[in-house]
Chain A
Amino acid sequence: MSGSDPGKLISKADNLTTLSLTRWSADWESATRLYEQAANGFRVSKDYEKAKLAFEKASKGREMLSSPWDAAKSMESAAALAKELRNWTEVIDFYRKASELYMQCDRPQFASDSLAKAARAVEDALPSDAIKLYSDACVLLEDDRKEQMALDLYHAVTNIYVKLEKYTDAVAFLLKLGLAADKCNATNSQCKAYLSAVIVYLYAHDLKQAEKCYNDCSQIDAFLRSDQNRFAGKLLSAYKEGDVEEIKRVAQSRSITNLDSVIIKLARKLPTGDVAAFKTNAAIGEEEALDENDLK
């Protein structure tokens, strides 16, 4: 059987499944087997289009046989082949279908896994879709209270946002990362997330937001006691003084190298823009404070 032409196997299987006068009920079992064999044959001969179709049909067969697990697995294989063909919409569709089937088997981890695979595949081509897929995957994991697995996904979303230069969204996701890390007591990841958030704000040259963010995060005990807190404080005071050399020196220190690679790149490029503006603002603020004292 394995030696015969996969095309013939497909047509045979099609015959078995189509209903006609001579056939009253479709024989899904043998049909599915034939579909799978055909799909493997096509894959070996690198005919991805036909292999993808065969996997799709095999998955449908498995669904009919009420085994959503195998159906999901076939769907994933189909999606992987669609990725080879660079057919992104199909990739997304197949992976979504696979994740639904996994949810039917009551395995949310695998479901979020397939969504994550989809997002990774379309990251470069369709970043907004990738973001949506990642967020759905994170939601699935959080519903199952497995936030720790979600940490990597949050990192990936942040990286996409940074690439798209949407810094506020990136920070939002970093804060969500911090929240998830908090729920599973991953204090190191949490502190690193908050520090990354401050750095992203500074890269976007928004000192006020960075300070607000830093103050908010300082409310959290774990962050307050950590090295990352001290480092963030040093960085912010260097910014307030407007001392470019100091900023560069602080940014080269060890704490940065422990963070995610994308964040490291941002930190190396600090300071962006004119820090002298921050310095004069800060000085004006101090003089005003003195005036108030004199009035008293």
Chain B
Amino acid sequence: MSVIDILTRVDVICKRYDKYDVEKQRDQNVSGGDAFARAYAAVEADIESALEKVELASKEKSKASAVAVNAEIRRTKARLLEEVPTLQRLAVKGISTEEMAARNDLVLALPDRIQAIPDGTAATKQTGGWMSSAPSASRTAIKFDSDERFDNEYFQESEQSSQFRQEYEMRKMKQDQGLDMISEGLDTLKNMAHDMNEELDRQVPLMDEIDTKVDKAAADLKNTNVRLKDTVTQLRSSRNFCIDIILLCIVLGIAAYLYNVLKK
């Protein structure tokens, strides 16, 4: 089967199991508070039901019932087109500029969507084969095996599942708190690291100066040491040393001679 077929099948299955999507349910409930969102949701629901009716019509065997369904669809379309201006006015009273722009875009796209609902009149004017493939997919009859058993009660939350969901929410909250604390700590660390960086940058030229000065001092010391060594070797050269010893011997000899003479 082609990719488009897979996509349509996945779409239909998702719509079927929409009731399990808690987030979506919650969003739908939340948007009930806002006038624009409510009206927009109502229009969307109407469009969805009109599309479903289109599918029904295509499955109808008798021409009369098909014509009746088509007429109903046309009436719905006209009603929806009238509601679009009111939606536009509601959209302008938006909260912030970005939301206003988004809502405006949504409202502007509505007329096109409404017009695109096939009502059996202008079938040839349909845009390409995309719209026709939607009914064609349904014509290949996506069947659900356990179709009849899915009533509202089946989708209700059991105690276990709601407990599980609660635990999940709690853990998520705790994780969020932990992550917040970590982020605070990281913030402090980042600031400290930046300050240390700047301090080290400040000290680099000072170290360079110290380096040059110490090099100069070391060179001076070396110089002085060499000169000192020269002087010292000069002072204690072997020639002077020998002369010293000879003179010392002569003095000792004279002293011994005198000692002998005086003893006598």
A residues adjacent to B (C-beta < 8 A): 146, 148-149, 184-186, 188-189, 254-255, 257-258
Contact = CB atoms under 8 A, between A and B. Distances in A.
A148 B184 contact: no
Contacts of B184: 254
Given A148-B202, A255-B187, 13 more contacts: A148-B198, A148-B201, A149-B202, A184-B201, A184-B202, A185-B201, A186-B198, A188-B191, A188-B197, A254-B187, A257-B188, A258-B187, A258-B188
Given A254-B187, A254-B188, A258-B191, A188 B198 contact: yes
Nearest to B209: A109
A262 B53 CA distance: 70
A184 B197 CA distance: 12
Nearest to B185: A254
Q: Is the interface of A mostly helix, strand, loop or mixed?
A: helix
20 contacts: A146-B205, A148-B198, A148-B201, A148-B202, A149-B202, A184-B201, A185-B201, A186-B198, A186-B201, A188-B191, A188-B194, A188-B195, A188-B197, A189-B198, A254-B184, A254-B187, A257-B188, A258-B187, A258-B188, A258-B191
Interface residues of B, number: 11
A149 B187 CA distance: 25
A220 B194 CA distance: 19
Contacts of A148: 198, 201-202
A219 B201 CA distance: 25
Nearest to A188: B194
Contacts of B195: 188
B237 to A, nearest CB: 40
A129 B146 CA distance: 90
Nearest to A189: B198
Interface in B196-228: 197-198, 201-202, 205
B205 to A, nearest CB: 8
A146 B203 CA distance: 11
Nearest to A255: B187
A185 B188 CA distance: 21
Contacts of B194: 188
Interface string B56-68: 0000000000000
